[in-house]
Structure 1
Amino acid sequence: MNKRPAAGAATALALALTLAACSDDGDGANPTGSSTASGTTVSHIHGLGLDPADQRLYVATHEGVYAPDAKGEPKLVGDSKDDFMGFTVAGEETFYASGHPTTGGNKGLIKSSDAGKTWKSLSLSGESDFHALDFAHGTVYGYDSTNGLVRTTKDGVFWKEGARLEALDIAVSPADPGVVLATTADGVARSSDGGKTFAQGKEPVMAYLSWTAKDAVYGIDTSGSLNRSTDGGSTWKNVSTVPGGQPQALTAVGADHVLAATQSGVFESKDGGKTFKKRLGVASSGGH
């Protein structure tokens, strides 16, 4: 029986703790609160995205979706303060998400066509909570954490079931709809059949992945170390460490344009992750 190196075991344990921290707390409440005397703050970030039309930043959190106002302060988009878990920008003013209503339960797959102001339930309401969503090739790829299942849908209503595995995040190749990567406690697992099956995960162990350009897969580990792969996730090179500690979300907007959320803020890089600039402050919180 092969034994995992001590460092790998420690990293896998950290990922397991991160997975546990992402579980539903049942009531949708944020124990740290969402406002202070100086104004609104955000914490427990689950997703990031830029609207391709105006490059506005959107931040999906435990208490709604936020965007910076004219002063750079977070402002609630729309009136929903539900817990948004999976979140992805699919196009101009078009978002997909999942999570939990403030009253508890699972939202299934929901969609906004007005940049997060309003949302429409599409499918699996009450049944599934997608902790990871990706949109590519006209398809929504989701990791249904409720059932430990990769699912895909073209229309948002009828789903194809894929592999069962314990993962935290998924990323789809922008060049090949069949290639899907997933972060597991063993490392990055690869599928070549659209998520129907996955090979055993291989180190390094990542927490989050994002893949927008063919030759630029980004992965961030539980310590905030950012890595880049130019060969579809087969090999990785460390780029930098994102400021702020444990990561909460990662989104690659382009080959050299990266957004990352950590415990102290949302950071943006336009040079492939070499340097980062804070886009939005984040309230300190005990976990994802």
Structure 2
Amino acid sequence: MPAFMNPFRRPFAVGSVAAGALFLAACGDGTAPDGTAAGSDGAKPAPALHSHIHGLGGDPENGRLYVATHEGIFTPDDTGSPQLVGDSRDDFMGFTVAGAKTFLASGHPAPGSDQPADHGLIKSTDAGRSWTSASLKGEADFHSLDHAKGVIYGYDSTRGLLRVSKDGTSWQSRAQLQALDFAVNPEDPNQVVATTAEGVARSTDGGASFGSGEGAGMEYLSWGSPGALFGIDFTGALSISPDGGATWKKTATVPGGQPQALTAVDERHILAATQDGIYESRDAGRTFTKRLSVANGDHH
């Protein structure tokens, strides 16, 4: 367990903003992440995902959905069933798509591994099929990752510290705070918001300092566009803020129980993971459609 203990009752999970457009309808295009026919090895995938979800993302090149879980990265096959990407069963915590086939993540090795307990920052350039260590191996546990304008932000849960990097190798320490999740304005990396026990805390200096948490309590945040910051609370109620978290308006309640992750692709296209599935909205959260079933929504 990390030395830093979060004040929230639930484990930390990511709700970062995925880079590029995500079209879930394209997820069932019949190809596996490596371009081969999905399920061509004869293995029959499970009809639902049996793992806690930590993050959601989409490859801007082909629109494929990727799901970061406690037991690996998954993507839907041509039947809509979850298919393991690569062969890693690691616990992927922080997760974000940084470009075509380019993913950034953090987390922990699978049970039985001889690797350090914390991955630090890891990177994939083949859509999650393989991963390499980028920095801070054995030194940092990023439970949330986001990026904007080429700047990477990571919340290191071992220290309760927001860190920032322009190259994924060298890091600057920013504010120390007790947060569950955070999000960065996609057009202005100086604007950062974080969920705290007191409410949403805001920063205008790139996370160097935060004001006091205020307003309705949120679990996860995701910034779809400068004027569309989304937040979801522990009941699944989704709200939108047009002014960077100063004011909020509830739009809907996401089905399926307690939330596990939130990703706003843009100001209208939203993905949310709850205890029983992954849901998509294309009307800014007014209505949702279930896209992938989850059989085990319990937290680890």
TM-score scaled by length of structure 2: 0.84
**1:99 & 1:169 partners in 2: Cα distance?**
15
After superposition, what is the alpha-carbon deviation per residue over 1:74-132, rounded to whole angstroms, capped at 9, x for unaligned? Answer: 00011110000000011111110000001361000001111111111011111111110
Q: 2:12, 2:180 within 8 Å by CA — same for their partners in 1?
A: no
* Aligned-residue RMSD, C-alpha: 2.0
Matched, 1:129 2:137: no
The residue correspondences of 1:166-205 to structure 2 (distance < 5 A) are 166-205=178-217
What is the correspondence of 1:1-288 to structure 2 with a 5 Å cutoff? 16-19=8-11, 39=47, 41-102=49-110, 103=113, 105-287=117-299
Checking the alignment, whether the CA contact within 8 Å between 1:42 and 1:281 is kept in structure 2 is no
3-state SS in 2 of match to 1:231: coil
Unaligned regions of 5+ residues in structure 2, if any? 1-6, 15-43
2-structure distance, mates of 1:267, 1:231: 25
Q: Report the 3-state secondary structure (helix = DSSP H, G, I; strand = E; otherwise coil) of the residue aligned with 2:290.
A: strand
Report the Cα distance in structure 2 between the residues aligned to 1:274 and 1:94, rounded to whole angstroms: 31
Deviation at 1:232, TM superposition (A): 1.2
Tell me which residue corresponds to 1:11.
none
Q: 1:197 is aligned with what amino acid?
A: S
What is the CA–CA distance in structure 1 between the aligned matches of 2:207 and 2:266, rounded to whole Å?
Answer: 23
What is the Cα deviation at residue 38 of structure 1? 5.0
Which 4+ residue blocks in structure 1 deviate beyond 3 angstroms? 19-22, 36-40
What are the ranges of 5 or more consecutive residues in structure 1 without an aligned counterpart? 1-14, 23-35
Structure 1 Cα separation of the partners of residues 10 and 288 of structure 2: 23
TM-score (norm 1): 0.87
User: Which one scores higher on RCO, CA 8 angstroms, separation ≥ 6?
Assistant: 2
Identical-residue share of aligned pairs (%): 59
Contact 1:42 1:61 in 2 (8 A): no
Query: Which amino acid in structure 1 is aligned with residue 146 of structure 2?
Result: D
